[in-house]
Amino acid sequence: MGRLAYVNGRYVPHGHAMVHIEDRGYQFADGVYEVVPVVDGVLIDEEQHLDRLGYSLAELRIDWPVRRAALKLILRELMARNGLRRGIIYFQVTRGVAPRDHKFPCAAKSALVITTKRLSPPSAAMIQDGVAVSTQPDIRWARRDIKSISLLPNILAKQAAVEAKAFEAWLVKADGIVTEGSSTNAWIVTKAGEVVTHARNHDILGGVTRQALLELVTSAGIKLVERSFTVTEAFAASEAFLTSSSAFIVPVTRIDGKAVGNGKPGPITQKLREIYVEGVDRQIRAAS
Ligand code: PMP
């Protein structure tokens, strides 16, 4: 049987899954989403992703399409039907279907779409050699903490990065501060050994991987600092890396073509990756 998608209460073949043309997600990008990694059939950091979904929905005053407990059952059902063991589960909630009009509709019911995708972990080459990033202007709106499906600036930045032969874009504000990547959080390790990532505020998405790492690392005795860093500081860093639910932790070894440190993934990044992967393994063991 082919891959299925979940669309507003029905499990339908992926190729035939459709939404109404007046779904406000389609018309206005009036919706939010989540991506949860699946490893060995286990949803990693599921509660944190559902908490963030709740936050995004509340900030935009969109109702939960189904109760949280029901959503958890649907996620598992779709994973089971699709035989998903390793990959991601994507779910998006929009404000629903209504005649096109900017103001909130009175009677629309929020709409839920869920898909799964098989995805391998980052390749051995990516982990051994690291990836390149390209700095791009951060032209997004002022509420990047909401995981909105409106991703046009992220798409443009990522495309510009790919055209510059980089894996990811690092988004830079007019004042030179690196906020985050187009779909990842950005980190550096300074020459003094401080691990630095942008503080959690409206300027960045509070990454679940970012938060998990912050918590795991504190107990490992590594010094992590949540503060802004500039592109200049990033160029001078001894190590850099990025985090996200689909990539976990990937070393960054070039920024705008310049080598970070000695141009190889650094020991702190490698240690953090080990700590993170152990955390994932613990979740898998606890679930089975
Ligand atoms: N920042 C942005 C802009 C993102 O889109 C993502 C991925 N959703 C992240 C950071 C990383 O967040 P997470 O660790 O929750 O995947």
Residue nearest to atom 5 of ligand 1 (CA): 183
- Ligand 1 binding residues, C-beta < 6 A: 35, 154, 180, 183-185, 205, 207-210, 243-245
For the CA of 208, the nearest atom of ligand 1 = 15
Report the C-alpha gap between 76 and 79 in whole angstroms: 5
pLDDT digits (tens, 9 = 90+) for 115-167: 999 999 899 999 999 999 999 999 999 999 999 999 999 999 999 999 999 99
Each residue of 153-170: pLDDT tens digit? 999 999 999 999 999 999
Q: Does 131 lie in the same domain as 55?
A: no
CB proximity list for 92: less than 8 A, separation 6 or greater: 25, 31, 32, 33, 34, 112, 113, 114, 149
Instruction: Give the domain CATH number at 165.
Output: 3.20.10.10
Both 15 and 131 in a single domain?
Answer: no
CB 178 within 8 A of CB 135: yes
Higher pLDDT, 220 or 257: 257
Report pTM: 0.97
What distance in Å separates the CA atoms of residue 112 and residue 98, rounded to the nearest whole number?
Answer: 15
Amino acid at 189: V
* Mean confidence (pLDDT) of the chain: 96
Q: What are phi and psi of 44, to 5 degrees?
A: -85, 130
Q: Do 29 and 168 sit in the same domain of this protein? A: no
pLDDT in tens, 170-217: 999 999 999 999 999 999 999 999 999 999 999 999 999 999 999 888
Same domain, 113 and 148: no
Question: Range of 171's domain?
Answer: 124-284
N- to C-terminal Cα distance for the chain? 26
Selection from 269, 251, 244 nearest residue 124 by Cα: 251
Residue 252 CA to residue 259 CA, distance in Å, equals 9
Dist. CA 18–CA 32, nearest whole Å: 18
Same domain membership, residue 132 and residue 109 = no
Are 99 and 128 contained in the same domain?
Answer: no
Distance 208 CA to ligand 1 centre (A): 7
> 193 with 276, same domain?
yes
**Domain boundary at 63, 97, 118, which?**
118
Nearest CA to ligand 1 atom 10: 184
The CATH number of whichever domain residue 26 belongs to comes to: 3.30.470.10
- Does 129 lie in the same domain as 59? no
Do 132 and 274 lie in a common domain? Answer: yes
- Pick the atom of ligand 1 nearest to 49's CA: 15
The CA 166 to ligand 1 mean position distance, Å, reads 18
Domain count, the chain: 2
Q: Are residues 108 and 208 in the same domain?
A: no
- Based on the fold, state whether residues 142 and 278 are members of the same structural domain: yes
